[in-house]
A and B are shown apart, each in its own frame.
Chain A
Amino acid sequence: DTGVSQNPRHKITKRGQNVTFRCDPISEHNRLYWYRQTLGQGPEFLTYFQNEAQLEKSRLLSDRFSAERPKGSFSTLEIQRTEQGDSAMYLCASSLVGGTGDNQPQHFGDGTRLSIL
């Protein structure tokens, strides 16, 4: 299966530590998205890349969060100085660009569950 892959699946860390997650999208997909999801809520958009360019960032993405997609393939999401409120599932998705209104469906990974102690 060559779907979207996220690592690690689970991360437990102490408050104040830095964490980094990795996402490997479907290889031919040029768009890559990061979302955050908490219990009982839908995924909340954080940021997205088209190839290596970061085109949009949500107001949810504080300056402690940084995302990169250096070669337009895999992406990393780093959270610095983690806080209790950062505990959530971090989802990555990829898609193709195209179609009217950029309505291409997103293919999601199974996420990284972050727990802050």
Chain B
Amino acid sequence: SQKIEQNSEALNIQEGKTATLTCNYTNYSPAYLQWYRQDPGRGPVFLLLIRENEKEKRKERLKVTFDTTLKQSLFHITASQPADSATYLCALPSGGSYIPTFGRGTSLIVHP
């Protein structure tokens, strides 16, 4: 089955810088990949979806890329703010099911 890898170490950056988070998968390329944000004690909130035939997707300060050769998606937040501090999860279908499987998430901490 598909293994999803997200950096377990927290990413610490300074306000105003661009944060880049990585999601790697191990097997076949999925039909789509999703990114979610999760705050402590809350459920995940959907941010962006990118399909296998798309290389890049943008939404305001967010940008997602999808490289099926590298089996990797990058999630960028430009002009980061302390309010962007959260855990970011990637999710993609695996094991022949359309139901997305979630990575463990990467914690982002933006320092003022």
Q: State whether these chains interact.
A: yes
Number of A-B contacts (CB under 8 A): 58
Beta-carbon contacts under 8 Å, B36-50 to A: 41-46, 49
Query: Could you give, for residues 75-117 of chain A, a 1 whenever the CB lies within 8 Å of some chain B CB and a 0 otherwise?
Result: 0000000000000000101000000111101111111010000
Beta-carbon contacts under 8 Å, A37-93 to B: 40-45, 48, 56, 91, 93
| Residue of B whose beta carbon sits closest to that of A9 | B41
Judge whether A26 is part of the interface by a CB distance below 8 angstroms.
Answer: no
| Residue of A whose beta carbon sits closest to that of B93 | A101
Q: Which of B8, B98, B103 sits near A101, CB closer than 8 Å?
A: B98
Least Cβ–Cβ distance between B38 and chain A, in angstroms: 9
Q: Which of B31, B49, B89, B93 sits near A42, CB closer than 8 Å?
A: B89
| Residue of A whose beta carbon sits closest to that of B102 | A42
Judge whether A33 is part of the interface by a CB distance below 8 angstroms.
Answer: yes
In terms of DSSP, what is the predominant structure of the interface of chain A? mixed
| Residue of B whose beta carbon sits closest to that of A4 | B43
| Residue of A whose beta carbon sits closest to that of B31 | A101
Q: Are A109 and B31 in contact (CB under 8 A)?
A: no
Judge whether B101 is part of the interface by a CB distance below 8 angstroms.
Answer: yes
| Residue of B whose beta carbon sits closest to that of A35 | B102
A108: chain B residues at CB < 8 Å are 43-45
A103 vs B49: C-alpha distance in the bound complex, in angstroms? 8
Q: How large is the interface on B (under 10, 10 to 19, 20 to 34, 35 or more residues)?
A: 20 to 34
A56 vs B100: C-alpha distance in the bound complex, in angstroms? 12
Least Cβ–Cβ distance between B40 and chain A, in angstroms: 10
A41 vs B6: C-alpha distance in the bound complex, in angstroms? 11
Judge whether B34 is part of the interface by a CB distance below 8 angstroms.
Answer: yes
Would A105 and B43 be within 8 Å (CB), given that A56-B97, A56-B99 are in contact? Answer: no
Binding site for B on A (CB under 8 A): 4, 33, 35, 40-45, 48, 56, 91, 93, 100-103, 105-111, 113
Binding site for A on B (CB under 8 A): 4, 6, 8, 31-32, 34, 41-46, 49, 51, 89, 91, 93, 97-105
